[in-house]
């Protein structure tokens, strides 16, 4: 019997212990004459115990315990009972398959770098191989703490039990001094912003904006704003830097009164973020930005889906994670956006839910849509939608809070705008989704 077709490498899903495997689901394109089970088994062997040809030490016992298991190979569309496969069935005359491969957890236990090397390692160079999803085995996940705060912890920290939270990114993104940033911070905070973050492009110490100076100036601005509005403001200070500097940067924030940190999760690496999240000295929430991660997911036929990235960010300790929506500056399908949001909030063994953070051209006229899509457990990320308001950042923040309050009370945004000039001006400038093509607001 051909070993590539044996039940040893091709069990049914019911024939494995799912707690002891991480099951990867791929979209794989193959030549019309390629044999799909042989191709799938070759990928599984390449990523676990073997190579392109049999090697003596790769015994059946080794394969049984440590080799990947081919759990499903499904052609799309399914050509069952069709013998004419010489028809053109896809790009470059490809046949496409959904392939599910189970990887033994013993190979990758408690090791994100090895997980990535195994699930998407060498085979990522294939022209038509895309990782769609991963079912994480219980015995893999149990080694991870996940979010330290999550949705409930952030709400308790801010004393906001119900309603969407409002985030603002200081604009301009970079190139400003701490005193300039603090003035913008205060105006946004006093207008009603809950969480103010640095842009993903400003991290650690910059020659024009030192981390310690930035934290002190912004936390003083937060204190003054909180006295006026009677609410708490979190400052998500971007500590993104070389890995060797991350702990030092985090402690600089905390020791100078900071109450939240931010990282660009995919530029520092998931393991680095996990170290921050699981460090008992770092007792503040982590806001994780997805920039650069999108480069792995943009191709139709290659890379790693944003769904897998969202799950990994939650596993590695993000309390807040950016889920790009389809309405603003960037293009993502609605179903992917919703799946990413549900992956943030739905049950994932014992890991705490992550607060989904939507950003990229968010305006007050989008608030009803987001609440209809997601509910009130969402962080609305508005940058230019606050700072670009014709009446200034404080008015921009007020316009968002007016839209949020209206939605929470079941009042239409038009009715709320008639009573609030800040909201009306924002609507006049940028519109309401469904009533105009709001993508016309953006140059990207």
Residues 162, 408: contact at Cβ < 8 Å? yes
Distance CA 350, CA 138 (A): 10
Distance CA 117, CA 148 (A): 26
Q: Evaluate the CA torsion angle 125, 126, 127, 128 in order and state its sign.
A: negative
Q: Which of 96, 94, 47 is nearest to 70 (CA)?
A: 47
pLDDT at 94: 85
Instruction: Kindly report the number of other CB atoms within 10 A of residue 142's CB atom.
Output: 14
pLDDT at residue 98 above 60?
Answer: yes
What mean pLDDT do residues 236-249 have? 98
pLDDT digits (tens, 9 = 90+) for 368-378: 999 999 999 99
pLDDT digits (tens, 9 = 90+) for 181-197: 999 999 999 999 999 99
Domain ranges of the chain: 8-141, 150-441
* Tokens read off for 123: 């085979």
pLDDT at residue 350 above 70?
Answer: yes
- Catalytic residue, from 69, 197, 289, 387: name it: 289
What mean pLDDT do residues 154-164 have? 96
**176-209 burial code (b ≥16 CB/10 A, e <16):** bebeebbebbbbbbbbbbbbbbbbbbbbbeeeeb
What mean pLDDT do residues 385-409 have? 96
pLDDT digits (tens, 9 = 90+) for 306-328: 999 999 999 999 999 999 999 98
Decide whether 8-141 matches 150-441 in CATH topology: no
pLDDT at 89: 56
3-state secondary structure of 265: helix
pLDDT at 63: 83
CA count, 13 A, side-chain hemisphere, 216: 9
Distance CA 286, CA 238 (A): 10
- Catalytic residue, from 39, 94, 148, 171: name it: 171
pLDDT at residue 54 above 80?
Answer: no
Indicate the CATH number for domain 8-141.
Answer: 3.30.70.150
What mean pLDDT do residues 400-421 have? 97
- pTM given for the model: 0.94
Q: What are phi and psi of 264, to 5 degrees?
A: -85, 95
pLDDT at 81: 62
pLDDT at 330: 79
* Tokens read off for 246: 């991350």
pLDDT at 4: 83
DSSP notation for 400-436: HHHHHHHHHHT--HHHHHHH-HHHHHHHHHH--BTTB
Mean pLDDT of the chain: 93
Write out the CATH class of domain 150-441: alpha beta
Task: Pick the range with the lowest mean pLDDT from 54-63, 95-104, 259-268, 398-407.
Answer: 54-63
Q: Between β-strands 69-76 and 129-135, what pairing exists: parallel, antiparallel or unpaired?
A: unpaired
pLDDT digits (tens, 9 = 90+) for 202-222: 999 999 999 999 999 999 999
pLDDT at 1: 63
73 Cβ contact partners less than 8 Å away, ≥ 6 residues apart: 36, 37, 40, 97, 98, 99, 100
pLDDT higher for 3 or 129? Answer: 129
Asked about 171 being catalytic, the answer comes back as yes
pLDDT at residue 276 above 80?
Answer: yes
Instruction: Kindly report the number of other CB atoms within 10 A of residue 112's CB atom.
Output: 18
CA count, 13 A, side-chain hemisphere, 62: 10
Q: Evaluate the CA torsion angle 79, 85, 87, 93 in order and state its sign.
A: positive
Asked about 289 being catalytic, the answer comes back as yes
pLDDT digits (tens, 9 = 90+) for 57-92: 878 888 889 899 999 999 988 766 655 555 545 556
ω into 68 cis (within 30 of 0): no
Rg (CA), the chain: 24
């Amino acid at each position: 019997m051909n070993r590539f077709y044996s039940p040893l490498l091709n069990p049914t899903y019911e024939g494995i212990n799912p707690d002891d495997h991480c099951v990867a689901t791929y979209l794989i394109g193959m030549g019309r004459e390629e044999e799909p089970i042989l191709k799938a088994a070759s990928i599984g062997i390449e990523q676990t115990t073997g190579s392109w040809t049999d090697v003596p030490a790769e015994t059946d016992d080794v394969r049984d315990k440590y080799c990947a298991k081919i759990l499903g190979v499904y052609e799309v569309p399914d050509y069952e009972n069709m013998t004419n496969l010489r028809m053109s069935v896809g790009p470059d005359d490809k046949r496409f398959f959904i392939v599910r491969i189970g990887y033994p957890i013993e190979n990758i236990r408690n090791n994100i770098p090895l997980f990535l090397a195994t699930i998407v390692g060498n085979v990522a160079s294939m022209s038509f191989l895309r990782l769609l999803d991963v079912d994480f085995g219980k015995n893999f996940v149990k080694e991870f703490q996940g979010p330290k705060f999550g949705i409930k912890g952030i709400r308790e920290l801010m004393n906001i039990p119900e309603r969407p939270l409002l985030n603002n990114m200081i604009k301009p993104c970079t190139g400003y001094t701490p005193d300039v940033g603090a003035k913008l911070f205060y105006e946004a905070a006093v207008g009603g912003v809950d969480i103010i973050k640095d842009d993903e492009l400003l991290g650690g110490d910059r020659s024009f904006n030192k981390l310690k100076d930035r934290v002190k100036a912004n936390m003083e601005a937060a204190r003054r704003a909180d006295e006026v509005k009677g609410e708490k403001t979190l400052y998500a200070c971007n500590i993104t830097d070389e890995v060797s500097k991350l702990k030092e940067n985090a402690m600089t924030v905390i020791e100078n009164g900071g109450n939240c940190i931010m990282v660009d999760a995919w530029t520092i690496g998931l393991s680095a973020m996990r170290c921050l999240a699981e460090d008992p000295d770092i007792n503040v929430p982590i806001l994780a930005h997805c920039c650069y991660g999108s480069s792995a997911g943009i191709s139709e036929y290659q890379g790693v889906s944003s769904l897998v990235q969202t799950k990994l960010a939650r596993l590695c300790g993000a309390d807040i994670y950016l889920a790009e929506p389809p309405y603003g500056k960037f293009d993502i399908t609605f179903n992917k956006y919703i799946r990413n949001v549900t992956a943030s909030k739905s049950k994932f063994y014992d890991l705490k839910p992550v607060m989904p953070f939507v950003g990229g051209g968010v305006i007050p006229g989008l608030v009803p849509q987001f609440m209809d899509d997601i509910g009130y457990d969402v962080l609305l990320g508005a940058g230019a939608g606050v700072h670009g308001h014709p009446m200034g950042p404080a008015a921009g923040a007020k316009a968002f809070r007016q839209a949020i309050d209206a939605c929470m009370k079941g009042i239409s945004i038009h009715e709320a705008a008639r009573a609030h000039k800040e909201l009306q001006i924002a609507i006049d400038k940028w519109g309401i989704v469904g009533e105009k093509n709001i993508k016309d607001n953006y140059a990207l």
